[in-house]
Amino acid sequence: MILELLNQFMPAEVAFYVELVIIAVVYLGVFALLGLFLVWMERRVAGFFQLRLGPNRRGPSGLFQTVADALKLVSKELTATEGRDKFLHGIAPYFVIVAALMALSLIPFSAELQAFDINLGVFFVTAVTSIEVVGIFLAGWASNNKYSLIGGMRSGIQMISYELSIGMTIVTMTVLAGTIQLSEIVEMQRGGWFIWTGHIPAFIGFMVFMIAGTAESNRTPFDLVEAESELGAGFHSEYSGMGFAYFFLAEFVNMFIISAMAVTLFFGGWLLPFEIGADIPFVGAIIFVVKTLSVVFLMMWFRWTFPRLRIDQLLTLEWKYLIPISMVNIVVMAILVWLGLTF
Amino acid sequence: MESIVFYIIALIMVTFAVMSVSSRNIMRSIVYLLFVMIGLSGVYFMLDFSFLGAVQLVVYAGGVIILYITSIMLIEKIGESMDKPKLLQQIIAAVITSLGAGVTLFAIYSYNFNMVADINNITTVEDVGFALLNYGENGYILPFEIISMLLLAAMVGAIVIAKSGKSTNSNELKN
């Protein structure tokens, strides 16, 4: 669409690359704004749950507070520990942020608004996010700090374990959808959202997905990666200024990505029930963002409701409960699809 | 344009591969190896074998490298640089690697590559899935099943090895 616009006043070859650059810049902007908005939302929601106000001075409802915070972080002096591995310490945040950015490019905001509609879809998202663990490991190790190291190791164990049940849930929904291309998954839900058409296994799948997704994005109650009372700030204790900001942004954008995946897989992406207003362009994007933000709100709700798990409880939950449940769930879903018992 | 991108990726891969074996810090070697893996998956994506590229990312960049990192963290003295090898070792290594490189180059240049006529024939996930579970012609169900049996055997073996020796008190683990 942008391509057609550009083709009018420049040669096709140049227009193609200009389009790539424009999309990249737009996504970088969206990435930064999304991170800032989610941080603001987290603080307001936290305030709401604790019967206080939260940031409310800068801008309408304190909306510009996080912008000011980001500016403060950018202007801060970069400090670092002695004896750190300079190269690895410097490069670690980029693994995390690039992985999050690449995953964001696959999110189908609406039928028109998806940067990279590869037929691998969901599989590519999991592939890209699996790189993130490397960044966290390296950040923990290269900081030359025992708390960072423990945080990094915990995070590695946690993310690798919970990636499994996320993968299993995605397989379950793939059995129902018959495709793993994100835009096609949404199109398959025109007749009804998967959480309705897949009924019992889809609902179990959604619960497993939300638990595992919360763990995957290192949020409370699974935030023992950065358990403040034990580990300082965990793997990013030794980061200051922009390095810290990168990790922080990536964490919030990951939360958005997990929620967006949940919306795509279970709640019909950009579609409303009974196809209300389904084909008006760009309304889909608004619907999608609203849905995603409600799932994000659910994750923030978790944060202020459940106490933090111990590391052994965390691993027990994953290996003894979630993985068997999701494995059985795949079989149940396969049988339902085979017998045609889906709605 | 494609060839420019290819040469950039190839340059990055070769540089990091050399750095990976010549670095004296084992942790950095792993990270350089990770860059090589990512570069390789980039080549797959360039060839439109996106499934293979994503598998490369999951298995090598996301799996094997993390396995390396965790196992290296169990070694002592990870942060320090390793000693330089002896001269004799260096010579032997140089001879063996040049032999290996020679064999590979010979194999590449003596093989007659078939040019694929239809470049736009992209292998989709559906194709891969049908081929994997197909028991007719050009089906890969047998190797697929054998590999899954092999993985199961490896998993059972790992559990047996991990359980043998120390018999831990199960009550102790529970709390």
Contact A130 B57 (CB under 8 A): yes
Domains of chain A, residue spans? 1-75, 88-339
Contact A126 B58 (CB under 8 A): yes
Contact A141 B55 (CB under 8 A): no
Please give, rounded to a whole number of angstroms, the shortest distance from the CA of A103 to a CA of chain B. Answer: 13
The whole-number pLDDT of residue A315 equals 86
Q: pTM of the predicted model, to two decimals?
A: 0.85
Please give, rounded to a whole number of angstroms, the shortest distance from the CA of A249 to a CA of chain B. Answer: 21
Quote the CA–CA distance of B38 and A134 in Å, as a whole number: 12
Contact B62 A131 (CB under 8 A): yes
Please give, rounded to a whole number of angstroms, the shortest distance from the CA of A66 to a CA of chain B. Answer: 32
The two most distant CA atoms of chain B are separated, in Å, by 65
The whole-number pLDDT of residue A127 equals 85
Quote the CA–CA distance of A92 and A80 in Å, as a whole number: 14
Quote the CA–CA distance of B105 and B135 in Å, as a whole number: 36
pLDDT, tens digit (0-9, with 9 covering 90-100), for B67-97? 888 888 777 666 666 677 788 888 998 899 9
The whole-number pLDDT of residue B175 equals 45
Radius of gyration from C-alpha coordinates of chain B: 22
pLDDT, tens digit (0-9, with 9 covering 90-100), for A296-343? 998 888 888 888 888 888 888 888 999 999 999 999 999 988 888 777
Q: Is the ipTM of this complex over 0.90?
A: no
Contact B125 A138 (CB under 8 A): no
C-alpha of A227 from chain center: 20
Please give, rounded to a whole number of angstroms, the shortest distance from the CA of B51 to a CA of chain A. Answer: 7
Domains of chain B, residue spans? 1-79, 124-164
Interface test with A, best of B24, B46, B66 (most A CBs within 10 A): B66
pLDDT, tens digit (0-9, with 9 covering 90-100), for B40-50? 988 888 887 78
Q: Is A131 on the interface with B (CB under 8 A)?
A: yes
Judged against a pLDDT cut of 90, whether residue B150 lies above it is answered with yes
CATH architecture for residues B1-79: Up-down Bundle (1.20)
Q: What is the DSSP string of A20-41?
A: HHHHHHHHHHHHHHHHHHHHHH
pLDDT, tens digit (0-9, with 9 covering 90-100), for A177-234? 888 888 888 888 887 788 888 888 888 999 999 999 888 887 878 877 676 677 777 7
With bands split at pLDDT 50, 70 and 90, how would you rate the model's confidence at A5?
low
Contact A131 B51 (CB under 8 A): no
Q: Dihedral angle at the C-alpha atoms of A62, A251, A208, B70, nearest 10 degrees?
A: -160
Q: Is A187 on the interface with B (CB under 8 A)?
A: no
